[in-house]
Structure 1
Amino acid sequence: MKNLLFLTITGLLLISCSKSTTTTPITPTDCDLITVVSESDYINAPSDYVAINSVVIEGNCLKVNFSSSGCSGDSWEVKLVDANIILESDPPQRNLRLSMKNPEACEAYITKELSFDISALQVGGNRVYLNIKDYEGDVLYEY
């Protein structure tokens, strides 16, 4: 009888312990947005007009200063999209583009700056060139 009671209590304890209520915390980033790594998004994401004025890498964030026409820029949907292809060279290269969905129909010209977490773009070694469509400058990401 004692064995049956012991086994029942042990079984209940094991069942109650198998459900974890803790969650793994997401590591916060200092960047505004993450970089999307997707060949289909690279091809299909919105491509309304956007001018890239400058890019600067600070840590694992790529700060992009960009402009487009609009009313306020509040309704813009902007993402940095990687083609998910690594070009074999020294250093390796990745192709990216700034995707813009701009529903605003105003004549103002607005400039904004957003930063994108590019840590997912790291490859073997310690650096990669980021070829950003419609941006003339060289962007070397060293990590």
Structure 2
Amino acid sequence: MQRLMFKTTKQMLFCTALGLLFLNTQCEEEDDLVGDANCDFATIVDASKYNNMNADDFTFINTEINGDCLELTIGASGCDGNSWEFGLIGSGAIAESFPEQRFLKLDFGNEELCLAYIERKVLFNLTPIQVEGSNKIVLHIERLNETLEYTY
């Protein structure tokens, strides 16, 4: 009986190890499909959400485009910034110029009630706003005093 139990335990360990190996392989393939895994969030194109959203108060500290990621550093009041919610919303409109232009808003949610001033960096994947047949677009982000040029 004890020998049978040992054999069954050995089989279970082997199956578990094999299953974990399979899951590890799946994650690597999935990372390849995602593309730029360095971005925290995807950019969403939704005209209705763009037109109806109201973001909590924040300040742009720094903006930079690195590859397909838009890196935004923002500042706002809060406790530690860990509960902040982010989204980058595109209007869907494309200004037909050269280069084309896109219009975006930062959807920022802050329920923290502390008086400290916190800065946090987030990265948004810009590939959803690429324009077919083009390799460059100008980004107009509401509340940002400058435009950004995204080359892809």
Q: TM-score range by the shorter chain?
A: 0.7 to 0.9
Quick one: distance in 1 between partners of 2:47 and 2:117?
30
Q: 5 Å matches for 1:22-101?
A: 25=30, 26-28=33-35, 29-101=37-109
Deviation >4 Å, runs of 4+? none
Quick one: distance in 2 between partners of 1:83 and 1:50?
20
The structure having more radius of gyration, on CA atoms, is 1
Quick one: distance in 2 between partners of 1:27 and 1:50?
29
How much is the aligned-residue C-alpha RMSD, in angstroms? 1.6
**Residues 1:136 and 2:145 aligned together:** yes
Quick one: which of 100, 104, 115 aligns to 2:123? 115
Instruction: Give the letter aligned to residue 130 of structure 1.
Output: L
Residue pair 1:76, 1:101 contacting (<8 A) in 2 also = yes
Shift of 1:73: 1.0
The count of residues paired between Structure 1 and Structure 2 equals: 121
TM-score, normalised on structure 1? 0.78
TM-score, normalised on structure 2? 0.74
Instruction: Say which structure is richer in helix.
Output: 2
Q: Which runs of 5+ in 2 are unaligned?
A: 1-25
